[in-house]
Structure 1
Amino acid sequence: MLDRDSNGVSLTGNLLQTSTNTLGMAKVLPGDIIGSTTTHLAGPGTHVYDSKICASIIGSVSTVSASASSKSGKPTLSIPRVPSRSLSQPLKLTTLPALNSIVLCRITRVQQRQASASILLVDASPTTLVPESLTHLTSTTASSEDIYFSAVLRREDVRLTEKDKIVMNESFRVGDIVRATVISLGDEKNYYISTGGNEFGVVIARSEEGNAMVPASWKEMKDAVTGRVELRKVAKPV
């Protein structure tokens, strides 16, 4: 028997399987596998990677049954965007980062030996997302200094191996959304975070042309429009 959550969504490993005639409301993060191209079509808010349909944005999975005129006969998986929320109503963070917390961060500055970031979400599990915060996580214009916690990602904490070969601007760019873990509560100004581990790294990025990017390998992301490849420390889709 398959386990099901409160929304009737079947959970099989990391794959979220939804009924072809119901609306699945499972919360997902970018990179999460939500279906397969053998059984579903990829809709807005998703992308295809290695025959798997993955989330491109943060939100709830929606399944639309195939129409009578559809040639494929497959239902479509999509993730609707949440309407923008006025920046005059800043996001209130009620959970403080703690040691080993999983966080989503926006990179705000990249230097030779470290990167600065703003912590957007604490304990970044798909089941703990608050709908009101979704647009802020993908926004690149929100002023984060007064709203979010500050964090530092040192060069030696980017990955677990070949630390002496790490180049910061080949791992992250300003505006990247990164999944990381808190390794130290740091000082009064900054938390210390790490992306050491396959599940940690960049989950959302835009190319130099401003287009959305999708994972190409553990160290590369590809422009979804032009196909151009850029270097990143990429989080493995989960």
Structure 2
Amino acid sequence: MAETLLVTPGERLALVAEYDAGSGTCVKDKFICATLVGSKRVLPAGEGEAEQRPRVEVVRSGVEPVVPRVGDTVTARVVRINPRLAAVDILCVGPKPVRQRYSGVIRVQDVRATEIDKVQVQASFRPGDVVRAEVLSLGDARSYHLTTAKNQLGVVYAKSVAGVPMVPISWQEMQCPHTRAVENRKVAKLDA
């Protein structure tokens, strides 16, 4: 049976001579110490392994925060554009909404995979558009670098000048169902 107890970072959990250090812990001097706030768990030694000792670990309490990582698909809202990039606020990582604000940028060279030299950000996105993108890198301290250079990535929701949700008519155009006006976008391929 696993033993549980609430601990804080730096708190001594056990002696290194008696236990193995698990996740959420570190070894300092002769002690295993907590590295995060959570519940202390002592897991018994594996059966049939004479050398193994019980393992001490710390498991976070509550819900894990949703944080974008390289390779994750995110849903984001375009907040502003300029000729070099589209600035976005990340709303979801996969299907999970984020609790805090994460910013991202889609640089002109990351909008699509082909004819990169002909890409115009203002012809691909508009402020207010909702896009599906992939995290390329952690970028700088202010924002993640994102890409829409795959078929399934790009604008998934946009409103026309008339304020009506538009429908995609090609991979680079969306149309207002009321006014029939066509606007350029880097459209995400819909899942069939």
Please indicate, yes or no, whether the TM-score normalized by the shorter chain is above 0.5.
yes
Q: Structure 1 residue aligned with 2:136, among 172, 183, 207? A: 183
Partners of 2:140 and 2:112 lie apart in 1 by 22
Higher Rg: 2
**Residue ranges of structure 2 left out of the alignment (5+ in a row):** 1-62
Would you say 1:194 and 2:165 are equivalent positions?
A: no
Alignment-mate amino acid for residue 113 of structure 2? L
Alignment-mate amino acid for residue 75 of structure 2? L
- Aligned residue for 1:22? none
Alignment-mate amino acid for residue 151 of structure 2? N
- Aligned residue for 2:87? 116
Q: Structure 2 residue aligned with 1:219, among 160, 172, 178? A: 172
- Aligned residue for 1:148? 101
Structure 1 residues 191-219: Cα deviation after superposition (integer angstroms, max 9, x where no partner): 00000010000000001111110111000
C-alpha contact (below 8 Å) 2:66/2:96 kept by paired residues: no
Partners of 1:179 and 1:107 lie apart in 2 by 11
Partners of 1:206 and 1:147 lie apart in 2 by 25
Q: CA RMSD in A?
A: 1.9
Structure 1 residues 141-181: Cα deviation after superposition (integer angstroms, max 9, x where no partner): xxxxx942000110000000000000110000000000000
Would you say 1:160 and 2:113 are equivalent positions?
A: yes
Instruction: Work out the number of aligned pairs and report it.
Output: 129
- Aligned residue for 2:158? 205
Partners of 2:170 and 2:67 lie apart in 1 by 32
C-alpha contact (below 8 Å) 2:176/2:182 kept by paired residues: yes
**Residue ranges of structure 1 left out of the alignment (5+ in a row):** 1-91, 134-145
Alignment-mate amino acid for residue 223 of structure 1? C
- Aligned residue for 1:71? none
Moved over 4 A (4+): none
C-alpha contact (below 8 Å) 1:93/1:148 kept by paired residues: no
Partners of 1:112 and 1:172 lie apart in 2 by 11
Indicate the structure with greater strand content. 2
Alignment-mate amino acid for residue 76 of structure 2? C
Cα distance change of structure 1 residues 151 and 230 upon mapping to structure 2, 3 Å threshold: same
- Aligned residue for 2:70? 99
Alignment-mate amino acid for residue 175 of structure 1? G
- Aligned residue for 2:125? 172
